[in-house]
Chains A and B, each alone.
Chain A
Amino acid sequence: MVSSNGTSGSASGPASGALTPEEVMRYSRHIIMPQVGSEGQRKLRNAKVLVVGAGGLGGPVALYLALAGVGTIGITEFDVVDLSNLQRQILHQTPDIDKPKLQSAKESLYAYNPHVQVVEHPMPITSDNAMDIIPNYDIVVNGADNFATRYLVNDACYLAGKTLVDGAILLFDGQLTVYKPGFGCYRCLYPDPPPPGLVPSCAEAGVLGAITGIVGSMQATEVFKQILNIGEPMVNRLLLIDALSMQFREMKLRRDPSCPLCGDNPTVTELIDYDAFCGSPPLEMPAPATAGASH
């Protein structure tokens, strides 16, 4: 059942309560760690995480969330599986070609762990639906492949008061950070998008399949740390991953007081037209089972 805001199912999550014997066994390698324990495992089960995109980054993110027993995993995705996706998008397999990615992702996640609930949002996230979707979740993970969606998700998360775990990839490079409201946002780091066409796509420039697994796994790790309230989150820190040298560099980030969204005198107080902001062409939904590639 798909609602008017494109949500299939609900984000109400599995029932709370004591862990079942099956859950204790399934998650025993987590539960045995004092940083998790039974209480932490119940926190994971009660958590609601939205993953934007079920492709290169969203795949490993959603997979590790499901394996860990994150109770409610929302996914926004409208693309279909293409042969060229299979070099890196681990939720989809050869028999899934031409299937909606959301369906393929859901089948894979339920095969790994039938105890989680996958909430489908079978449409692109837009200015019209973002504030209907994002407030239903505790944390949002961004795997979007375009700047318009990145600014939209950033703005919507800030306006909804949600933490955004952000990752990006191209060629052999990855970037990872966490935006927590009040501690800076994507606009603080990149106030303006690049001119259209300046930054190549993965289809144009290429991307190492395994880098999606590296960055996606790190994004999932940051989600777990947020839910469990452990460790040092990647807030105000940008991790640059260079797979060629296998060097990891950490840059310091800050909230920009002049940021139009989260600064001292904000001018962006509601969602805007992100295609116009980014100079990108109007959004076109691919026809089911026919349309083109994502990355």
Chain B
Amino acid sequence: MTVKVYIPSTFRRLTDNREHVEVEGNCVADVLESLEAAYPGFGELVFDQDRNVPRHINIFVNNQEIHDLNGTATPVVDGDQVAVIPALAGGVHHGQQ
């Protein structure tokens, strides 16, 4: 299955500044692994040491959070839209924006 993945600008440095990339997979876990294989460094963002998706990153399939579906086992089909969205706060400074 070929799915279209939306890459936010915070991750786009890893995808040659491409907003969307197309990868293969039958489920969300496959999609993430395909992204890792195609774009070096991506795996470090979307997998923690135990190969789980870190809890500051949300994966959406067709605009629905995968926790509401079947997690990384959520199946995908041709044409599905996947988005990988990190928490944003701006940063590490302890003041206020």
Residues of A within 8 A of B (CB): 52-58, 76-79, 124, 143-150, 168-173, 175, 189-194, 196-205, 207, 212, 238, 240, 242-245, 249-254, 256, 280-281, 283-284, 286, 292-295
Contacts and interface: CB of A to CB of B under 8 A. Distances in A.
23 contacts: A55-B95, A143-B97, A144-B90, A144-B97, A145-B91, A146-B91, A147-B87, A147-B89, A168-B89, A170-B91, A171-B10, A173-B8, A190-B55, A194-B56, A199-B87, A204-B91, A240-B85, A251-B63, A251-B64, A256-B67, A283-B94, A284-B94, A295-B93
Contacts of A286: 95
Query: Which secondary structure characterizes the binding site on chain B?
Result: loop
Given A144-B90, A146-B95, 5 more contacts: A53-B96, A146-B93, A150-B89, A190-B58, A240-B83
Interface of B: 6, 8-10, 19, 54-56, 58, 60, 63-65, 67-68, 83, 85-97
Max count, chain B CB within 10 A of own CB: residue among A171, A200, A284: A171
A79 B89 contact: no
A207 B90 contact: yes
B43 to A, nearest CB: 14
A145 B68 contact: no
Query: Which secondary structure characterizes the binding site on chain A?
Result: loop
Nearest to B64: A252
Given A244-B9, A251-B60, A148 B94 contact: yes
A194 B96 contact: no
B93 A294 contact: yes
A192 B54 contact: yes
Contacts of B89: 144-147, 149-150, 168, 199
Contact of A79 (B8, B60, B95): B95
Nearest to B86: A199
Given A124-B94, A251-B85, A170 B10 contact: yes
Contact of A252 (B8, B55, B68, B88): B68
A292 to B, nearest CB: 8
Contacts of B92: 146, 196-197, 201, 204, 280
Contacts of A57: 97
B88 A170 contact: yes
B79 to A, nearest CB: 16
